[in-house]
Structure 1
Amino acid sequence: MKCFFHDTIKIPVGKATLEAVLTLPEGATSIVIFSLASSRSRYSRRYQKVAQQLQQRGFGTLLADLLTDEEDAAYYYTRTNIELLTRRLTGITEWLECYGPATHLSLGYFAAGTGAAAALKAAYYLPHIQAVVCQGGRPDMAEDLLPYIATPVLLIAGTLDADMLGHSRLAFEKLQCRKKLLEIKGAGQLFVENNAMTLIMESAANWFHHYLKVPDHQAS
């Protein structure tokens, strides 16, 4: 993979300044923004690997921190504050749309944890988001907006994680958009069993490949 842009950037959102790693392969026409409720998302080896696999398929990626270090220290409150996470994600998205190297590229979200609810809510507020993939997490925490989301959504859950599987099934029932629920047999909350992460990466890449299209003004 040849890359024409790779850098750590600082993104102002409200009173916070959030850090992110933006990578754009040559010829990329779309960017997948990661929605993770952490102050150190960009250092996660798990999600770095997911990002690298997407880059190999030609997608740009933005590994962004939705929280500051101070906010992350207040673990439970901030990581479950869906409205805060949603504001951060929409702010990052709007900033990215005006950022030189990323201007006019189509956008999707890859989410996990409570970041799943934030991604779904952000997709409601920003309907030009073309695809969302939620790896486990809490998509049900966006319950009030789920019936009104138009963006295609892929939900992924492991069959050994009864709680998360239940949350994903509940969200799937309420979604009225194009949707799919992938239940990975024998996988738990961390998806370390049965080569689950490889299946997740392949399924996510295929979902984005199908739904992330070059914007009309870009194609012309």
Structure 2
Amino acid sequence: MILDGIVGLAPISKRHGLYTEVRSVLIPIDSIKLHGDLTIPKNAEGIVLFAHGSGSSRHSSRNKYVAQVLQKAGLATLLIDLLTEDEEKVDDYTAHLRFDIDLLAKRLVDTTNWLIKNPDTKNLNIGYFGASTGAAAALVSSVDCPDAINAIVSRGGRPDLAGPILSRVKAPTLLIVGGNDSQVIEMNEEALNLLETEKKIAIVPGATHLFEEPGTLEQVARLASDWFVTHLTKIKNQTKSKKETTVGI
């Protein structure tokens, strides 16, 4: 039985004195339902929606680690699969859907609408964490719901795939790139020049594209946590009021 998109509750775990419930959710979008894992720490003021990258999913060990660091900082997280299981099977062979930025962005917008309307998340300030092609989708989606998105972090992202829409992004944006990922550094520097909002690029020394080197993913998580805490919590930010209205792409 599904209530309000909630499939079931995982065991409640205690992290740093905060009781955190992990929920498996189904988010209805048109004729499909997307699977997600929703975690809401006690007294959370912000939530980070993860937009996974090329060939990845909500089960990505890297994004799950970053999510855990954000949760310890008091932020809620939603890790979601932007493609259905059938679409992922097709994409494994074609690698086409992972580069369909418009499709991924639309699903992010629809998921954002779900967060805005869901009783447990409607009062939380929303941020996007995008990896690889998911970063481009996050940037495009933010333009279609500018009053709802308060911060964006890109990890090894392809913001260049967002194209000219970059100049319309309003959410404060942090681009994190590996120091040994020279081609992606160049793409991110070009994208940084097109952004006209609060922006920053952070280059992690010695890291390649997937941040697999010892200590590099920890740096990503710390940078992302600092950015989101700064822009999603009332303590350090004059919070924007979020209207409960549907946004479209």
Smaller-chain TM-score range? over 0.9
After superposing the two structures, state which structure 1 stretch, 148-157 or 163-172, moved more. 163-172
Structure 1 or 2: larger helix share?
A: 1
- Is 1:187–1:196's contact at 8 Å kept on the other side of the alignment? yes
What percent identity do the matched residue pairs reach? 37
Q: Is structure 2 residue 31 aligned with structure 1 residue 11?
A: no
Question: 1:38: Cα distance to partner?
Answer: 6.6
| Alignment-derived partner of residue 123 in structure 1 | 142
Change (3 A) 1:4 1:100: farther
| Alignment-derived partner of residue 83 in structure 1 | 102
Question: 1:14: Cα distance to partner?
Answer: 1.7
Question: 1:197: Cα distance to partner?
Answer: 0.6
**RMSD of aligned residue pairs (Cα, Å):** 1.7
- Is 2:53–2:135's contact at 8 Å kept on the other side of the alignment? no
| Alignment-derived partner of residue 129 in structure 2 | 110
How many residues of Structure 1 are paired with residues of Structure 2 in the alignment?
Answer: 218
User: Distance between the aligned counterparts of 1:200 and 1:4, measured in 2?
Assistant: 22
Q: Which amino acid in structure 2 is aligned with residue 43 of structure 1? A: H
User: Distance between the aligned counterparts of 2:156 and 2:31, measured in 1?
Assistant: 30
User: Distance between the aligned counterparts of 1:37 and 1:198, measured in 2?
Assistant: 19
Q: Among 140, 153, 171, which residue is 1:151 paired with?
A: 171
| Alignment-derived partner of residue 198 in structure 1 | 218
Q: Among 154, 157, 163, which residue is 1:134 paired with?
A: 154
Instruction: Give structure 1 stretches of 5+ with no counterpart.
Output: none
Normalising by structure 2, what TM-score? 0.83
Q: Among 61, 66, 86, which residue is 1:45 paired with?
A: 61
| Alignment-derived partner of residue 50 in structure 2 | 34
Aligned to 1:130, what secondary structure does the other structure show? strand
Change (3 A) 1:194 1:38: closer
Provide runs of 4+ in structure 1 moved above 6 Å. none
Aligned to 1:33, what secondary structure does the other structure show? strand
